[in-house]
Structure 1
Amino acid sequence: MNPIRVHCPAHITLLFSIHDADSRLSHQGSRGAGFCVEAGVNVVAEMSERSSQGGSGDVSGRVNVWDRDESLVDREEELSCHSMYHDIAEHFRNSGSIDESEAVDLDIRLELPRSQGFGMSAAGVLAAAEAYSRVLGIDDSALAPGLAHRIERRRSTGLGDVLAMSVGGVELRLEPGAPPEPGVVTGFASDAPVLLVWRPGEGRHTSGYIDSPDWRDDISAAGGAAVDRLRQGEWNADRWPELLEESHVFAQASGLLAEPERKALLADVNVIIERSAYSTDLCACLCMLGVSAAVVPRTLTRPVGEEVLEELGEQLRACGLGAQVTRIAALQS
């Protein structure tokens, strides 16, 4: 059998509220809004013979994960990164989908940095789950998203990224939960270029916020109010400026903008934008929950070209920041 190749776009959360009181992982998640981007995670899956060196508790095939810089992620140093792929293997092994003598090998390449608010754990686990389904010949479109969502919730690595990725484009998550149900999400299309910016070495783990009583109430109050406003009327490209405004309000009301690292990053990005000839065409929004921002057009009817964003990216990299141009991802069919 030929290798199976799957790509999953990353996801930028601009605002959200936390909904995790239900004991059923499939019913936990978030309401919120954001957009998916073309850069994400590429997975190649291939059937192989199960290694005789693996112990009785070893259910995974070979798993290699490459970071954005093409360096191989060390299994021992980054156990959490590898272990979520073990969870996928365990699910398919326990369901009887894989024979005891077989395994699925995964080669996983990340196109954006981890722990920077780009939904990379969700993109990785969703792409890997879909690759498993395809290589095993399982015809169930709901299996991979549901499994990926449950793994994200069990590990507290995300809330609504998988639901957002199930629709693509610019999304509004109306009800929490796994796709295709009970989660409810809608989206509209755009292919506007965007510039993602982050401060290397300043990543944040989602669990540090969504599991913290000090953060969750303020985040949920601000995010819930924003979604209540955004869900009024049709969700289409005309709502983009409103989404950007709501993201700024959320960043302040939730207290997330007050963190010194985020505040400093946003200030650095805004200085570069204001010095450019495109200060009236571009704005920066914080990505939740990293120390990162997205430089986006103020209106989708007049997007700024990739070459302009590349030039801004060069200036930001000269300031010691990471930067990468990508585009808003297509709607999922």
Structure 2
Amino acid sequence: MGGEDVSENKRLNLSGFSIEFGYSARSFDGLMLSVDSFSRNYNSTKLTGEIISVDPSAGSFEGLLDRSYDNGFVRKDGTGSIGEVTWFWGYDDISQVDQDVIVFTDTSGKDVDHQYSQITDLYSEEGSERGNGPMFSLSYQFKGSESLSYSAGLNISNVRFDNSWSLSNFSAVRNTEVTQYVIEDSYNLLGTVPPEPPYTGKFSEPGALIEAVPSERNESFKNSPTKRFQFNNQIDNNFEFSMTSFSPALTLSYGLKNFFLDFGFGPTVNVIDWKSNYSENLKSSDQNGESNILENWSDQSSGDDVVLGAFLQVSAGLNINNNWSLKAFTRKDWAKDFENEVGASRINFDLGGMSAGMSATFSF
């Protein structure tokens, strides 16, 4: 008999303890996503275009110069072109010769100009986000009266969510205009019969002489069709978030037959971790539909933190038998805001919010 009493005393008495497990969904309110862009401050001639001015290789009309053309050249010879004549010249085609004159054409001179404009906006989106996950609770119940009781315990819950945003908040247009200078210079052959083309005279070897300075110049302008380029950015933002809450709770229960109502409250320790990725591409396309990526940017951010808060929970349930019960609950949490910056984006939301879920409880 004495041995049986010792065995009974050693047994673990779990009367009053209960284990609860379930699943809940939580709403994070006041979520604000703000996205600027790196494209807005991108300063490159790839975007705005480079202003180009190319002087004609034919040079000025007057004076002894080395002049180059699309179809030949006229330069000072080894004598310095004494008397403004030269044997250091060349041409490509017999059609350039017109009686006692030879004509050269130069189209190397041009002006390139651009008309550029851009539109950029700070993208913002406001709303809420919903996370979900399991919950677990261990508590001990103190009997108060037939219908009233109270308990103390620890609630543990985890919620997580991830979201992705794709957007464009930058666009620009560039119109490129090219003005080409067309120069036709005529030189007197001075009675010289030009050698068969293509002909290239020598700097130091005497040969057929012509004028070293043009006797006549005709200038005209040729405008090429305007080229139109369009630019747009593409931003992809991904955010992953997880929060585990440890909530010491004091709960007051009111029972009526097999039904009961619970009112719980207490502090909360929220352990959060997150990971965020940002990527942005700046693309260009022309009027022919050809496109390419001018520049790209990327950034990532991750971390963890501990945030204190408080909660209030209301539950309604049904006792199935002496050990098992089911209940539905809603919970309000209070905690400070969370803020994260990555790339040119910022996300901000309230870590507090409303939760709702269902659970099963086993009471010893």
Normalised-by-shorter TM-score class? under 0.3
- Choose between structure 1 and 2: higher strand proportion: 2
- Choose between structure 1 and 2: higher helix proportion: 1
Rg: which structure is higher? 2
- TM (norm. structure 2) is 0.18
